[in-house]
Structure 1
Amino acid sequence: MQKAYKLLALQENISNKEAKALIDKGLVSVNGKRLSIARGELSPKTIFVIQKVQKPQIIFQDEQILALEKPAFVESYDLCKFFPTWSLLHRLDRETSGVILLIKENSDFHTKAKMEFKNQKVYKEYLAIVNGILSEEIEINKPILTIKKGFAKSKISKDGLPALTQVTPLQISGKKTLIKAVIKTGRTHQIRVHLASISHPIFGDTLYGGSPSSRLMLHAHKITLFDYEFSSPQPTIFQGIIQ
């Protein structure tokens, strides 16, 4: 047995520091499950798979708004490094893929767009794969409290902020369900916490009780703001899980 990051370094012919960084970023999996502990001991015969991080692709651009296809494992704020004249309008979790919007900082459109989010007038639709069989549509209306101590984690609490998620099952495969989630509010980890609260955590969401996987199976599928509507197709990795 040997430490995981050392074995990975040997397999990929990289330094121990580079190998540890890949594991810490959640980019390394073994047997289809994300490797989370770099110093954990594994067999020398272990075969590692490294998730390739794609570059964000432009869905649409005009003088007011930039719609991007955010890859999984890219921090939202890092998108501005690719597009330095633009700023984030909203955020997605690091492992969440899909549509994300950027704007020109402090522009009139920026001010109006922020008000649309604040007034819950923005349509936000996600796709997710959850553990278990969810056969009926459900509306989850539970307040969410977020605690930030080094990293953010949320929970259902009467002391939290109002949060509403509408969940519709789309396809069942084995003991997993592909669902559509539409959120009226935008609390931290809202969909993840709400689904976990009904015993259907998102596949790959080990923070909230989901089964281990190579990534969090959550995708920002569609967003509508004013007269703009943008969508991103279901990731191919979803199709390999839901058959």
Structure 2
Amino acid sequence: MRDKAYKVLAKQLDISNKKAKELIDRGLVYIGNRKVKIARAEIDTKTKFRVSQIPKLKVIFEDENILAIDKPAFLTSEEIEKDSGYKLLHRLDKETSGVLLLVKNEEFREKAIDEFKKGEVYKEYIAWVEGILAEELTIDLPILTIKKNNRAKSKISYSKGKEALTKITPLEIISKYTKIKAVIKTGRTHQIRVHLSRVDHPIVGDALYGGKEWNRIMLHAKKIKLLDYSFEANEPNEFIKFI
């Protein structure tokens, strides 16, 4: 017999269909080592699933102005904003982990936004990319973002794109993969992902921009320096124990 994947999962875990669909949509459900991508796909009712768990949120720092969170992958920035009751200062993609900042008052928020606009915020990421990248690289290519049906996708556009600058430093090479540090001067949507894809080093797991299928997009927001604050989130185990 066959049935929709989310219904089979719901029966096996004894949870609601809604909860089962949510787990699949988040990217947490696997059949063997293959991620289940379509919740409504027809599968054998005897299929056995493996469900990954989302690590707990960690508070890095908190005072009267700011709340710094170590965001796990598969949890959206908007969910954290809703649960915390504070406004997001910036966003991380669902599968990107690392430092996420929320603000507690409007006066500080305006100061912080001004720093972002002036390019005075230091933003450092870690990523595993495909291929061997042996030398430092500066990618200065304008990015255009198109939003449709609450989804965004970016591309390089010399005629309509906005300035985007990414500095890449190789850190480690394993097999045919390179661990890199990426420092961005600007903050365009999917900037690091698009830039690395354009130079033929897509981020592992970033299927939207040509990367190899993986458990997650291997991108981590490691450090942010803003005004008199500096925050850092340790790399997740899957970055340290890559392959």
- Output the TM-score relative to the length of structure 1: 0.92
The answer to which of 152-161 and 21-30 deviates more is 21-30
The corresponding residue for 2:207 is 206
For 1:113 and 1:9, how far apart are their aligned partners in 2?
44
The answer to which of 45-54 and 179-188 deviates more is 45-54
Any idea what the Cα deviations from partners look like across 1:87-132, whole Å, max 9, x if unmatched?
Answer: 111111111110011112422x221111110000000000111112
Residue 50 of structure 1 and its aligned partner are, at CA, apart by: 1.6
Query: Does the Cα contact within 8 Å between 1:29 and 1:214 map onto a contact in 2?
Result: no
Instruction: Note if 1:224 corresponds to 2:218.
Output: no
Unaligned segments of structure 2, at least 5 residues = none
Q: How many residues align?
A: 240
Query: Does the Cα contact within 8 Å between 1:34 and 1:215 map onto a contact in 2?
Result: no
Give SS of 2:55's match: coil
The corresponding residue for 1:178 is 179
RMSD: 1.7
The corresponding residue for 1:88 is 88
The corresponding residue for 2:72 is 71
Give, as a single letter, the amino acid of the residue that structure 2 aligns with 1:222: K
Query: Does the Cα contact within 8 Å between 2:99 and 2:224 map onto a contact in 1?
Result: yes
Instruction: Note if 1:101 corresponds to 2:101.
Output: yes
For residues 83 and 39 of structure 1, do their structure 2 counterparts lie closer, same or farther at Cα, with a shift above 3 Å needed? closer
The corresponding residue for 2:143 is 144
Query: Does the Cα contact within 8 Å between 2:31 and 2:48 map onto a contact in 1?
Result: yes
The answer to which of 182-191 and 166-175 deviates more is 166-175
Query: Does the Cα contact within 8 Å between 2:5 and 2:39 map onto a contact in 1?
Result: yes
Any idea what the Cα deviations from partners look like across 1:187-236, whole Å, max 9, x if unmatched?
Answer: 00000101111111111111111111111111100000122111011110
For residues 183 and 174 of structure 1, do their structure 2 counterparts lie closer, same or farther at Cα, with a shift above 3 Å needed? same
Give, as a single letter, the amino acid of the residue that structure 1 aligns with 2:127: A
Query: Does the Cα contact within 8 Å between 1:136 and 1:168 map onto a contact in 2?
Result: yes
For 1:39 and 1:133, how far apart are their aligned partners in 2?
38
Query: Does the Cα contact within 8 Å between 1:170 and 1:177 map onto a contact in 2?
Result: yes
Residue 142 of structure 1 and its aligned partner are, at CA, apart by: 0.5
The corresponding residue for 1:124 is 123
Give SS of 1:134's match: coil
Residue 61 of structure 1 and its aligned partner are, at CA, apart by: 1.1
For 2:242 and 2:35, how far apart are their aligned partners in 1?
15
For 1:40 and 1:74, how far apart are their aligned partners in 2?
23
Unaligned segments of structure 1, at least 5 residues = none
Any idea what the Cα deviations from partners look like across 1:60-104, whole Å, max 9, x if unmatched?
Answer: 1111111111111111122123322x2111111111110011112
Give, as a single letter, the amino acid of the residue that structure 2 aligns with 1:23: I
Identity of matched residues, %:
57
